[in-house]
Amino acid sequence: MNNKIRGIFCNVTGAVAWGFSGACGQKLMQEFGFQSIQLTFLRMFFSGIILTLIVLLQRKPLGVVTKPKNLIRMIIFAIFGFILSQFAYMKTISLSNAGTATVLQDLGPVFVMIYVCFCARRLPSKTEFLTILLAFFGVVVIATHLNFGILVLSPECLLWGILAAIGLLLYSILPKKLIEEYGAITVSGFGMLIGGIILGIFSKPWNMNVTFTPEVIFYVLVMIVLGTVVAYTFYLQGVQDIGPVNASMLACIEPISASLFAHFWLGTEFIYIDLIGFAMILSTVFILGFSKDK
């Protein structure tokens, strides 16, 4: 029972931390002039340094980067897993808000399910097909507010939101063998660090036209420490204590918390039709979680 309570606490805390981190990203881009690629670089690079130091202090095997074959896999994972998911997520926030971006990224489990069906060379079951319909109509509701003559969200925002979900899919499947051999923290730490270095080449952080006031530094640190390192560590502990299915369902608190922070703290307005669309997309996680389909 103690482990169960700890797992629930860790998952809820991690999800709220992720949500608050997204709201901090929204504030930094809207009020302080950060670009999405700059924030993604800061988040990945310094989170990667922290997690890599933890790995080095624990003296874990480093074959994930010292073996040429593994290093190539790590670079692919860093680009198509970490960079795609993190940058697309930040870009979606810049084009909408933290709540909407997080909900769109949560289409990822549906894409994972479709990928699994494709690999198994089978059609989705009735339950799985239901989740596809809910996800599709949830996006339609959020994007149009059921007024099909206009788009509430721009096509660019929808594109980046879907790319964030695809990034979540690739993030989930690319490092599987590496994680089995070296562990999640090792793979994630070096993946973030490699991705941060690659992003640094393109974002040119030395040219940031941003004043790092104490307030700005605080929000950046929240994204790096609380929203990445702490949240990720708590989530892994929750997975260990209560299992991946229950952990993934509790992680749905993330878009809810992101929406609440965006609304009550940043003044982002949502109407009831947005909440219906959010609920349709988030329900897919619970349906897939309780499904008996393998």
The string of DSSP letters for 244-281 reads HHHHHHHTTHHHHHHHHHHHHTT-----HHHHHHHHHH
Nearest to 64, CA basis, from 168, 194, 172, 170: 194
Nearest to 268, CA basis, from 17, 40, 95: 95
The pLDDT assigned to 265 comes to 94
Q: What is the pTM of this model?
A: 0.91
Query: Are the beta carbons of 191 and 77 closer than 8 angstroms?
Result: yes
The pLDDT assigned to 215 comes to 95
CA 102 remoteness from chain centre: 7
Over range 204-229, report the average pLDDT.
90
Q: Is 159 exposed, middle or buried (CB count within 10 Å of its CB: 0-12, 13-18, 19+)?
A: middle
pLDDT in tens, 66-107: 999 999 999 999 999 999 999 999 999 999 999 999 999 989
The pLDDT assigned to 35 comes to 93
Neighbours of 85 (CB within 10 A): 24
The pLDDT assigned to 66 comes to 92
Nearest to 132, CA basis, from 262, 293, 286, 284: 284
Over range 193-200, report the average pLDDT.
94
How many helices (H) and strands (E) the chain has is answered by 16, 0
Neighbours of 12 (CB within 10 A): 17
State yes or no: pLDDT of 54 exceeds 70. Answer: yes
Q: What is the DSSP string of 36-76?
A: HHHHHHHHHHHHHHHHHHHHHHTT---HHHHSHHHHHHHHH
pLDDT-based confidence at residue 294 (cuts at 50, 70, 90): low
Over range 237-254, report the average pLDDT.
80
Instruction: List the beta strands (DSSP E) in the chain.
Output: none
The pLDDT assigned to 204 comes to 84
| Residue located via tokens 């997309």 | 281
State yes or no: pLDDT of 42 exceeds 60. Answer: yes
Over range 124-133, report the average pLDDT.
90
Over range 259-269, report the average pLDDT.
93
Q: What is the rounded distance in angstroms from the CA atom of residue 7 to the CA atom of residue 240?
A: 7
The pLDDT assigned to 247 comes to 77
State yes or no: pLDDT of 146 exceeds 60. Answer: yes
The pLDDT assigned to 173 comes to 87
